[in-house]
Chains A and B, each alone.
Chain A
Amino acid sequence: MQRSGIEAIHAEARPLPVGDGAAIMILAIYIMFVISVQKFDLAGVIAFGAFPLLLTTASGIALLPIMKRLVIASPFILFMAAGNLALDRSTAVMIAGFAITGGMISASVIVLKTVVTLAALLSLMAVMPFHRFGMALRSLRVPEVFVTQLLLVYRYSFLLSEEATAMQKARDLRSFGGHGKGPLVTAKLIASLLIRTTARAERIYMAMSARGFRTALDSRPAIAMKPGDLAAIAGAAALFGLIRYFF
């Protein structure tokens, strides 16, 4: 499920109108602005939906995988929103004889904030391949150890996921009436996977060493941000500020 999730989100890599580092910064600023929208400000959060909508329509990203991912990610948020719905029953407004409570508005704001922030994040990741994301992190001065770590985890998660799926399938085929699916048997299965993983790590390291790997996957210097990128970040922040001010 994890592997197909990554593949489903990753669409076609596309060049962005700004540098990848600037795109990540703009996304972070956008999320800060969305999160700053007040608890009952429904109009404000709807207006901020414009950014992910622009991203998805302009780049032609398939919306279905992103929507599926949003639905899967939401149980905790829905629980918290339901809490507001149940606890705040004070009437905020009456529309055609129907009372809209404060809880209804604040719950909607929580759900919509989740939808717009995660949609913006997933849209950006759909058009930015992970190696470009790593390069962008380098340009933002993230420590090399962490960038290499992220790239390695991403690369090998595909490989190990296949192995884990095969192991689970083999266990399930041999299990009758749920026998052998308890925590202690599963722990042995996970431990076997762990031993295979460390053996694989040694083989991978030897292969990578033969290709000149020392401690970092990419020895090229980080790409510095261009003045145009800084202007784009400032422009985006100003635009988000205007949306925040008017709505």
Chain B
Amino acid sequence: MHMSDALLSPVVGGAFWAISTGMIGWSARKIPVETDGSKTVLMGVMGAFVFAAQMINFTIPGTGSSGHIGGGLLLAVLLGPWRAFITLASVLVIQALFFADGGLLALGCNIFNMAFIPAFIAWPFIYRPIAGGEGSATRLATASIAASTLGLLAGAFSVVIQTTLSGISDLPFNVFVLFMLPIHAVIGIVEGVLTWGVLSFIASTEPGLLRTASETRAPKTGFVTAMLFVAALAIGGALSWFASSNPDGLEWSIAKVTGKEELASPAGTAHEFLSGLQNKLAILPDYDFRRTENLTAEEAAEPSPVHPGASLSGIAGSVMVLLIAGSVGLLLRNRRESTITATRS
């Protein structure tokens, strides 16, 4: 369910980055200052435990395929929301940096979808009320499966919203929702069963481990609602700012002064000379794909949305940039290696 950089617009990615980094800062403040630091070590080792637990595969009954635990809800139950959020965020950072899961800009979205939702929505509002303090086996199973499933569904829905708002994918909202939600409902149920299995084993062998979270104060409903409201406001505000159909400040000023949104180029002046010079000096002047001569009426009626910049000679130009960058890199490497050899000798 990792969101990817390539599917995000800078506005959506940036907004979720701001929300997630703000939440990391807030959670770091909420974790009480300790003098012994044992909980700090526990959090670190629990993050490593999630990596290790994800290496243990299980067979999904009736499918022949295998899966692994996600661990979001499990950490929230064991560590409480603030510590679980920090731990899950750190796991996601390492996944992005070393396993290319998502990407750097998508980290904001991934932390929101896979750390904020299980720690601040699934655990306090679904798991905790159902499981209660010293819950029975039935309550534990119901709470685990319900919180895992609804948490994963909320995360998957969030992926759909982030992708749709970014406008990179052509998948319509309803088709994407119908694709994502049923799959994640099944994954959520399996994750819930696994989480319940782990928790019931812990409850019978080391019940003390379950006390940390139950002693933690849950985040208030108002706080979570406020965070979601801030998220909606940040994305909505930023998007509407970028998507405004009104002229921008410069266009507005020019329109007020001249009655037109753009100024015409002055003829017979230095501007004309420079334009001519630019065309002569340009390595690939007026680059464009060859226009198709025999368009059908339907094709002519539907102009292509392809940007003129996506042109054949434009691509040739960018490949030239790649070649130059590669050559410069090799030169730098040879220079560095010869410097090291000279130093050693």
Binding site for B on A (CB under 8 A): 1-2, 5-6, 9, 27-28, 31-32, 34-36, 38-44, 46-47, 49-51, 53-60, 69-70, 72-73, 76-77, 80, 83-84, 87-88, 90-95, 102-103, 105-106, 110-111, 113-114, 117-118, 121-122, 125, 133, 142-146, 148-157, 159-161, 163-165, 167-168, 178, 181-195, 197-198, 200-202, 204-205, 208-209, 213-215, 243, 246-247
Q: Which residue of B lies closest to A196 (CB)?
A: B49
Instruction: Chain B residues near A213: list those with CB within 8 A.
Output: 37
Inter-chain CA distance A7–B18, complex, in Å, is 31
8 Å CB contact of B289 from A83, A93, A153, A192: A93
Apart from the given pairs A40-B310, A93-B292, A190-B53, 9 other A-B contacts in the complex at a CB distance below 8 Å:
A34-B5, A106-B170, A149-B87, A150-B93, A151-B44, A156-B45, A183-B58, A208-B37, A215-B35
Q: Is B103 an interface residue (CB 8 A)?
A: yes
Instruction: Chain A residues near B86: list those with CB within 8 A.
Output: 145-146, 149
Contact with A along B315-337 (1 / 0, CB 8 A): 10111011011101110110011
Which stretch in B122-130, B198-206, B224-232, B254-262 binds the other chain? B198-206
8 Å CB contact of B98 from A9, A49, A159, A246: A9
The listed residue with most A CB atoms (<10 A of its CB), out of B93, B103, B324, B337, is B103
Pair B104/A121 contact, Cβ less than 8 Å? yes
Q: Which residue of B lies closest to A204 (CB)?
A: B41
8 Å CB contact of A143 from B28, B45, B312: B28
Contact with A along B279-314 (1 / 0, CB 8 A): 000000000011010000001001011110111101
Pair A77/B333 contact, Cβ less than 8 Å? no
Inter-chain CA distance A88–B171, complex, in Å, is 10
Inter-chain CA distance A144–B28, complex, in Å, is 8
Minimum CB–CB distance from A98 to chain B (whole Å) comes to 11
Inter-chain CA distance A157–B2, complex, in Å, is 20
Instruction: Chain A residues near B46: list those with CB within 8 A.
Output: 197-198, 201
Q: Is B19 an interface residue (CB 8 A)?
A: no
Which stretch in B132-140, B189-197, B214-222, B264-272 binds the other chain? B189-197
Tell whether A53 pairs with B325 under 8 Å between CB atoms, given A35-B5, A145-B40, A168-B56: yes
Q: Which residue of A lies closest to B292 (CB)?
A: A94
Interface size class, chain B: 35 or more
Pair B170/A122 contact, Cβ less than 8 Å? no
Pair A215/B40 contact, Cβ less than 8 Å? yes
Binding site for A on B (CB under 8 A): 2, 4-10, 13-14, 24-25, 28-29, 31, 33-38, 40-49, 51-61, 66, 69, 78, 86-87, 89-91, 93-94, 96-101, 103-105, 163, 167-172, 190, 193-198, 201-202, 205-206, 209, 289-290, 292, 299, 302, 304-307, 309-312, 314-315, 317-319, 321-322, 324-326, 328-330, 332-333, 336-337
24 contacts between A and B (CB under 8 A): A32-B10, A32-B14, A35-B10, A40-B305, A43-B318, A44-B309, A49-B322, A54-B329, A55-B329, A60-B337, A91-B304, A117-B5, A117-B104, A121-B96, A145-B40, A181-B57, A187-B198, A190-B53, A191-B201, A191-B202, A193-B56, A194-B78, A215-B33, A215-B35
Pair A215/B37 contact, Cβ less than 8 Å? yes
Instruction: Chain A residues near B69: list those with CB within 8 A.
Output: 190
